[in-house]
Structure 1
Amino acid sequence: MQGKLYTTTKRSFIQGDLLVTDLNMKKSKAIYWASGIVSICGIIFEVLFGAAGSYLLGDGVKQYTLTISLFLTGMGIGASVSEKVTKNLILSFVWIEYSIGMLAGFSTFVLFGVTAFLSSGMDAFFLYFITLVVGGLTGVELPILIRKANEIGVTVQKSTARVLFSDYAGGLIGGLLFVYLFRPQFGLVKTAFIVAIINVVIALWILIYFKKEIITFKRHLIAGIIILFVLVLGVLFGEKTAFMFEQKLYKDPIIYNEQTDYQQVILTKEQGDLRLFLDGQLQFSSEDEYRYHEVLVHTPMATSSSKNKVLVLGGGDGLALRELQKYDEVESMTLVDLDPRVTEIGKTNHELTSLNKDAFQDDRVEIINTDAFQFLKKDQTLYDVILVDLPDPNNESLNKLYTLEFYQLLRNHLRPSGSIMIQATSPTFATEVYWSIDKTVQAANLYTDNLHVDIPSFGDWGFVLAKREEVQLDNADISVDTKFLTNEVLQGLTTFGKDIDQEITDDKGNEVALDVNTLIRPSLIEKYEKAWRSY
């Protein structure tokens, strides 16, 4: 009898231990899943802040570097602070997620408001501050989860390794989700709210899973539901409100707004003036764009002995193609633009097709959507005229299109006696940048001549004309119909005032040595940012 009682009691103890062990395993798995999912959210917020900084503040490499550095610094601070969290680990984790949800969820929404309504510089301060704070909160998460996993019976070595594995694996997934799903499908504002909701849902799940350990469970549950409701409202209405903030960044009403895989495309229009902005940078105004495009196109066409094959790098709006259509002798026009959505808008948007006169419908036009640098490396064609109609070198991706290596590729694709025309930013506002571009072109064994034209919407704007032989503008003849450019005007565009010529001096009157911009030493970005900081 005693033996049976002993056996039964022993079996009960064993079954009880198995139940406890099974329960602890389930709890530990919940912790690992939670760590993986919040890590996905963390990496999304990290790159989201970099993308927002790149869009609003420019220089993508700089903004990503600063935001990632600040986020990691914040995580380090948070990990250090987490040592003081020794009690109520589950509640601590829950409220950290609630806090991340509210702060990170409203981050880009508030950032657009700060940019629209507060003074210059406050947007950068806010972005860097919120990055540091959210990074700090993220840094507290993992140590708490590791400690909790250890508390329920998992060894420190196993709990640390498993939570860190979930964290690192989640980081990879988060990066891929941001690039291929969230940014292109939801944009910056809605993405922040959606990911914040995930944080709060995980907090609620962990709260419910461990509710037996929490005396005031209902109070924290209600708080989480309220926060979740606020974030859902953010998803539904936040982007519309942020659009109103963004509207304040532009002089005229926005009539088209799209976030492509590469950039933000915005069209504005007021009293007939159509304007295109890419990532906040003005590309043209319909009131005066003809001044820019006539100089860009007709100058090299007038100085090239042949006009059969023309290459246009950039120019996805179709306005350069419109000017090229005036030449019957042109047999082919190859347009290379990275963003397929820009060329599609140029082909289909009524406002743009009216302005470019349906240039993309010309049978001579071939559109290639790829990176201009990579295109030149692979293409074997020689061209009579090459037009470089690319955005200014305000980030690393664009800077490579203003390097010695790029201009050497241009030279190798240019027929003898052909011409290259390069838009080269403003010699008035960015004098050192302009003449550095000119020096870099010359370093590619090309002869150059320099032109600048007044464009009311832009200001004074510069171009570099390049050839394999000495440039002879004196004999250039503008043979097609134009609104602005004449032979006499063209000669006048080559004259530069003393304050913007290539003899550049510093504040002390010392001559400034110009650098050749290369892939290895991209000196142009810093000069560009410094030059345009005051404008």
Structure 2
Amino acid sequence: MSEQDRREALTLLTSVFLVAACGLIYELLLATISSYLIGSSVTQFSLCIGVFIGAMGIGSYLSQFVTAHLLRWFLSVEILLAVVGGCSAWVLFGAYAYLGGLYYGALFLLIGLLGALVGIELPLLTRLLSQYGALKETIAQALSFDYVGSLLGSVAFPLVLLPALGMTRTAFVVGLLNLGIAVWNLRVFAYRLKDSRPPLLLCAFLAVFLGFGLVIADQAGRFFEKRLYDDEILFARQTPYQKIVVTRFREDLRLYLDGNLQFSSLDEHRYHESLVHPAMSLAIRQESVLVLGGGDGLVVREVLKWPGIKQVVLVDIDPAMTKIARSYPSLKTQNGSSLDDPRVTLVHEDAFTYLMKSGALYSVIIGDLPDPNNEALAKLYSREFYSMIRRRLAPGGTFVTQSTSPLFSRDAFWCIERTVAAAGFATTPYHVYVPSFGDWGFVLAKDSATPPKLSDTKLTGLSLKYLNPETLSILGVFDAESKPTLVTASTLDRPQVVRHYERGAKRWE
């Protein structure tokens, strides 16, 4: 093999490696955007990746009908992929913002087109490579480079691209990489083409277009997000774990995580006072408190109102959330700089993992975790999780968790209550009306023979806006639409709480 042949073969093999990485990143990107917009991450990832792979199969099948000009076809595919893939995030956000119920049509059309184009790439490259060696060696090399490239894409997307660039910029960067592959092959194989200048000029124009999209990605993202959020967006950041958005309308400051409202400053006190103070009051001691979730610092703010607090451990998986809560002025004002209190220790770890490793005992444990809207979060509402919490409670301690809405997610709420009870707790379910959320539920629990009584809650000396003996007396009363249903406990093996939650969400769409 001549030096020129080796150079060309290496170019094609490297192209296999890079296009495999790009293809996998497109898969993950589309599934991530759909999960962010729709929720139910397992369903969205399964649908998006499944349809993408099916479309790749169709693309691979269609490649057999390309019988001549293989290089030109490959270059055309790369250029088309650069445009469609680079704009894919814009297309999905725009479809969700403006097309409403037609979103899935746009999603699957986009997945089908990208998947088919990605499916065509490898067969074309393999046939081009066969000119430089035996077929068995060509296939082995092409597949090995393809698999390793896919590995690169699967690692780079969650660890580097998504946290550093966000979803929209990632799409444009990968689109530019596809375009770069086309330009590289155009230069190396220019002698095979009658005139390489027209495609090079097209690539230059598209590079400017994609580069411009990369530059204005944040502004365009805010434009689409304005359609998703009612109020002015003050802050938006994609982290490796979630999309954090802070909005304001007049005096109403709101925090959203992955599009889900976490609090409104106008009424969050109703939620946080109801979550924290019954559990704090009914514990024998209030010295040591564990807060699971609650990275915005609002639960900790309420906990610190109790005298005698010596230690508060806040476990939140996302360091960006607690950093924003400590540094962003509006959030810091809302939480009263609670996370800067010397008694507060921040632990950035998954709550399940933390409980598995920790041997400490706590007087009170408070769960302010996201709703169980996917299987990844369902483990934080499982019997196994609550059993670990029970082992971490000091004698006479109390546990409380937010438990979704007993009205909008009735079965999910009672499933959580049954699950806490199945872990060996005596439980007291209750709920409060929060205007920005609606009717919202909690489960209070003690490791004892008798359930804790809300009527025994003492609030003397606390500066509260909502909770008082009169409001406490009605928190445990459920009307006919919210009364218990026949559901069973949720476990790691059978995360039933997710199905209940999804059914409740669909009912009220």
The answer on whether the counterparts of 2:295 and 2:325 sit within 8 Å (CA) in structure 1 is: yes
Residue number among 241, 254, 272 corresponding to 1:275 in the alignment: 254
What residue identity is the alignment partner of 2:498?
I
1:266 matches 2:245: yes
Match of 2:204 in 1: 225
Cα shift at 1:162: 1.2
Deviations 1:75-124 (A, max 9, x none): 111111111011000000000011111111101011111111221x3333
SS at match of 2:481: helix
Deviations 1:116-159 (A, max 9, x none): 1221x333332232122211111101111111122x34221111
1:369 matches 2:369: no
Residue number among 489, 502, 523 corresponding to 2:471 in the alignment: 489
Distance 1:449 1:126 in 2: 46
Match of 1:107 in 2: 88
Distance 2:219 2:49 in 1: 28
Distance 2:246 2:379 in 1: 27
Match of 2:221 in 1: 242
How many residues are matched?
Answer: 505
| TM-score normalised by L of structure 2 | 0.96
Deviations 1:323-347 (A, max 9, x none): 1121112221111111111111111
Match of 1:187 in 2: 166
SS at match of 1:25: helix
Cα shift at 1:26: 2.4
Give ranges in structure 1 of 5+ residues lacking alignment. Answer: 1-17, 505-512
Match of 1:78 in 2: 59
Bigger mean CA deviation after superposition, 209-218 or 26-35: 209-218
The answer on whether the counterparts of 1:424 and 1:462 sit within 8 Å (CA) in structure 2 is: yes
1:292 matches 2:271: yes
Match of 2:104 in 1: 124
What residue identity is the alignment partner of 1:521?
R
Residue number among 356, 360, 377 corresponding to 1:398 in the alignment: 377
Distance 2:187 2:363 in 1: 71
Match of 1:517 in 2: 490
The answer on whether the counterparts of 1:435 and 1:514 sit within 8 Å (CA) in structure 2 is: yes
The answer on whether the counterparts of 2:55 and 2:113 sit within 8 Å (CA) in structure 1 is: yes
Bigger mean CA deviation after superposition, 370-379 or 412-421: 412-421
1:144 matches 2:117: no
What residue identity is the alignment partner of 1:64?
F
Distance 1:381 1:205 in 2: 58
The answer on whether the counterparts of 1:109 and 1:239 sit within 8 Å (CA) in structure 2 is: no
1:453 matches 2:426: no
Deviations 1:334-385 (A, max 9, x none): 1111111111111111111111111122222111111111111111111111
Cα shift at 1:228: 2.1
Larger Rg: 1
Match of 1:44 in 2: 25
1:414 matches 2:393: yes
The answer on whether the counterparts of 2:454 and 2:476 sit within 8 Å (CA) in structure 1 is: no
The answer on whether the counterparts of 1:422 and 1:465 sit within 8 Å (CA) in structure 2 is: yes
The answer on whether the counterparts of 2:288 and 2:310 sit within 8 Å (CA) in structure 1 is: yes
What residue identity is the alignment partner of 1:63?
Q
Match of 2:504 in 1: 531
Give ranges in structure 2 of 5+ residues lacking alignment. Answer: none
What residue identity is the alignment partner of 2:241?
Y
Cα shift at 1:216: 4.3
The answer on whether the counterparts of 2:426 and 2:447 sit within 8 Å (CA) in structure 1 is: yes
Match of 2:11 in 1: 30
Bigger mean CA deviation after superposition, 154-163 or 265-274: 154-163
Distance 2:359 2:184 in 1: 59
Pairwise mapping of residues 192-207 of structure 1 onto structure 2 (< 5 A)? 192-207=171-186
The answer on whether the counterparts of 1:90 and 1:207 sit within 8 Å (CA) in structure 2 is: no
Distance 2:205 2:174 in 1: 16
Pairwise mapping of residues 245-256 of structure 1 onto structure 2 (< 5 A)? 245-256=224-235
Cα shift at 1:488: 2.1
What residue identity is the alignment partner of 2:470?
E
What residue identity is the alignment partner of 2:336?
K
Bigger mean CA deviation after superposition, 317-326 or 401-410: 317-326
Residue number among 483, 486, 492 corresponding to 1:501 in the alignment: 483
Cα shift at 1:180: 2.2
SS at match of 1:248: helix
SS at match of 1:180: helix
Residue number among 135, 140, 143 corresponding to 2:115 in the alignment: 135
1:63 matches 2:44: yes
The answer on whether the counterparts of 1:302 and 1:477 sit within 8 Å (CA) in structure 2 is: yes
The answer on whether the counterparts of 2:78 and 2:178 sit within 8 Å (CA) in structure 1 is: yes
Cα shift at 1:172: 1.0
SS at match of 1:500: coil
What residue identity is the alignment partner of 1:144?
L
The answer on whether the counterparts of 2:373 and 2:498 sit within 8 Å (CA) in structure 1 is: yes
Over aligned residue pairs, what C-alpha RMSD do you find? 1.4
Distance 1:530 1:96 in 2: 41
The answer on whether the counterparts of 1:28 and 1:154 sit within 8 Å (CA) in structure 2 is: no
What residue identity is the alignment partner of 1:135?
G
Distance 2:159 2:286 in 1: 41
Cα shift at 1:501: 0.2
SS at match of 1:307: coil
Match of 2:322 in 1: 343
SS at match of 1:193: helix
Distance 2:427 2:152 in 1: 49
Bigger mean CA deviation after superposition, 87-96 or 466-475: 466-475
| TM-score normalised by L of structure 1 | 0.92
